[in-house]
Amino acid sequence: MNIRFYNARILTMKDGQDIFFGELWVEHNKIVYVGPSQDVPEKALKWDREIDCEKNLLMPGFKNVHTHSGMTAFRSLADDLNLQDWLNNMIFPREALMTPDDIYWLTKLAILEYLTSGVTLIADMYLTPESILDACDQMGMRCELVSGLNKFGPAVSVMEERFNNLNNKSSLVGYKMGVHAEYTCEKDLLIEVSKLIHKYEAPLYVHMSETKTEVDECFQRYGKSPVALFEELGLWDFGGSIYHGVWCDDSDMDILVKRGISVISNPGSNTKLASGIAPISKYLERGILVGLGTDGPSSNNCLDMFREMFLVTGLAKLKEMDPKAVSADHVLKMACVNGAVSLGHDDCSDLSEGKLADIIMIDLKQPNMQPILNIAKNIVYSGSKSNVKMTMIDGKILYMDGKFMDTDIEEIYEKCDEITTRLKDI
């Protein structure tokens, strides 16, 4: 479908480019023009649809680059606990009973929430990547599946098989190698994983340095931090990301800089679980790429990138006791650009000709966006999901004006209610 957006404010998120009035053209799944109205090409496309943006804002979609979508089953079920109690006593026993079909429907429920939050790319680490792929492919969500391999399974050979097979199943969905965490993997298993990533020269993704207890116990086991252990084992040789990074010290940051490892901050989850406040200002000072994720809808409990944007700057300001820490411009870059780059998705990191048409429209006519003095700051400091007027992924409008396109939401709600009823009282 060829779509013309006109009468729009446009924030491309390209370095050095301010918001301007203009047009954006989509041909099939790519952006073919973005710029001022007076500079449009003489020969226009044959339009299937023309949308008057009414001076609202077009911008790249948000990238939620750490989540566990299927955990919608446990929203508000396992609250007010520390991480280890939450995992071992509430989550792991129930996850053991989940089927691939359960996770398929629960992922669809999460996708509805992503769309209302303007999310156009997720990195999803959960139990049955095949059924997550099916849910994302059917609903049009761009996704990188991330392996959560650990001592409970699957085998390293399964991760390799998925890496080779699932990267070729859908144009919307890819697969990344990863492990759940240092504390859920024996050293011999990590050595096997290191051999595999060297075979494919692949980056690695992992929960790391989320709590002080996690880091302290790693020191007790190995005499070094989780970051340093992975460096010793060669697990960082081809880059990757750590999820959380709350308790990284200067020596850890030296390794992250050396290896080009990005940090994906999850301030909502870290706040609710009282895990701590990540040293975001230090990461930025060191030139470490920082992206944002919501974590799962049980530990957070919502999948709202607006809340993550406000928390990542607000908590940084408190941690540093400096109101200038982590500016709104930095935060928007984390949410729109850095997350995409962390996954090798430069193809949807900004609004440029030739890039994928993953676009959102922000409603500037609501009270929380007025007056229009600084749109970027309004989005970060006063914005909310209610401001998401449209979410487009791969050139398809999936959500607009409060409605989901071609999706039976009642069926999703009904299926998920059946699943959660079965799991909640075990």
Q: Domain segments of the chain: what residues? A: 2-61+347-404, 62-346
**What pLDDT does 426 receive?**
81
Residues 6+ apart with CB under 8 A from 195: none
Nearest to 394 by CA among 423, 345, 341, 356: 356
- The single-letter code of the amino acid at 253 is M
**What pLDDT does 43 receive?**
80
Q: Which residues of the chain have pLDDT under 50?
A: none
Structure tokens that stand for 248 in this block: 């990284």
Q: How do strand 49-52 and strand 2-10 relate by DSSP bridges?
A: parallel
Q: Which fold has domain 62-346?
A: TIM Barrel (3.20.20)
**What pLDDT does 169 receive?**
97
| pTM across the whole model | 0.97
**What pLDDT does 327 receive?**
97
- Residue 100, judged by CB atoms within 10 A of its CB (0-12, 13-18, 19+), counts as middle
Q: Which fold has domain 2-61+347-404?
A: Urease, subunit C; domain 1 (2.30.40)
Task: Summarize pLDDT for 221-274 with one digit per residue, the tens.
Answer: 999 999 999 999 999 999 999 999 999 999 999 999 999 999 999 999 999 999
Q: Do domains 2-61+347-404 and 62-346 have the same CATH topology?
A: no
Structure tokens that stand for 201 in this block: 């020269």
Q: Report how far residue 144's alpha carbon sits from residue 136's, in angstroms, rounded to the nearest whole number.
A: 10
Structure tokens that stand for 237 in this block: 């040789």
Q: In this structure, are residues 37 and 314 in contact, taking their beta carbons and an 8 Å threshold?
A: no
